[in-house]
Structure 1
């Protein structure tokens, strides 16, 4: 296989930039930014505060999209200029600068490409993530806690805001579950790559004989529904219980019966929230999570009906788990859908370095959909 020259690499990056600009309708967005800026400058713009806020959110998203593409184009121009000068002056430092700029552009284009693949409006919004222990007893509760903190670190790396809704500690080790809301651009679209079963292999810290153990945890990712999405919930179908909140201790732990558990009786769906300071806040957050879960259940029901009409559907998969995290006898994190793997397990679990898996998943998912549509 021929080694790609620097000039060929930059040409390939320019092609990717042109494709992304087309997918994201950058010129149309540029025109809409000017139009929305003109609207927001009108004297009566804030007369309808709700509509004005929605317009400003759209304007912020479009500005961000245009800015990111413009910055990528500027990086490409800088890289091409550095390469040209390095060739004219036989300067290795300028060549290294061109390579560094190309690496940055490669990363930025991957981000933009992922955003261009998000076609559902909910993809661009916030996400509700729930991590629950699976098989493995105490180990599973500890694994649940490890995943919870891995995702908190990932969200921090991406600049997303996190609201922890529920994360009660287990009696011995780890946590019973964790539910948290992630707010940020494309949060749901990005994080839905994590939906599924996660498998851990390591020497058990709770086993006196230090034997290797395999344990599992499940990750559920739901979109946080906008208020204008209707979900029919009959108040008579709800049982609402109030109880004393538990926590890891320290500031902010509730000392009153402010924790809320809502049970949707027809489906048996249970939602808890205890990390807010008041019962009303916990109830409001719990209702948001319940709306999203019931919405997702309805989508799954409709999809199941369609699949039944189409006949049996055979998914390509590698078993229940989507990703394995092996700490012993060797160290490796491997995504079983895309084949992407790394030996830097601390970077993934401790530091939340998940983009390599998240971006690869969406690239794989887009390819899979394209393959299905062509058949």
Structure 2
């Protein structure tokens, strides 16, 4: 069998990597098409997987439209030439369009519940839509739910053990004597980020000032803002999950880092207008918030208040790790096997 997997985001790489390795181990061929995105490309290079770049990250609405058209044409040519049997991806419109044109099944694995026009079209064209059971909507007969979370396919303790020595060497820190905090700011350039917002510059500086009194502050800034150059941290992208795991607190505007930190047992404060609209993986955030693993706010002043409460030890990492352990007991740890079995049903 020949599979084509289309990757746009680092989370998609992490999720599909063990699936790719299993498909290849049994003799199947896997073609990877990707968007040129810095973190994603670094992860792919480190993994030594072969891939084809077919587009670059768009910066505005017109360029997003151009990317869609260009990406779809390139994907069609690659798939037709390689005689692809099955398409896999996470809510990528190009994959669904090409699968339909070539009359081949498209299997999508997603947690996105933002049912805008693009998502509705993606789901309509797909042959099968696989989502976590927390996904609230019913998408009909081709919708399959699994008892797990996308991120647990690579963050469950059965698969991932954070390496303390790597982090201590990377940061030149003794974690018995010092703590550090991770701040992740968004560049707001993705299609789902249009008209969204997070922390203001003034509140960012207030957070940095408060955290610096207690430990080190490291900023992972998509904008690479020179204003924060004394705090910006550049690390090998394949070590990012280790870095998140030993942080005492993650403060972020982004969806992926929020979920990953929470599932690593790290307290998380998330500030984004998406929290107000309940978009951006709404169901999983509802559950993570209910369990006390993530604190989401659209109001930055409320977010700042929660950060200060955490710093006052009203919530600590030991508490978050205990809550994480209780939370993941509810899910099947072998998500890869579930997905492989569903893929096999199309062969």
Q: TM-score of the superposition, structure 1-length normalised?
A: 0.23
* Structure showing the higher helix proportion among its residues: 1
**Which has the larger Rg?**
1
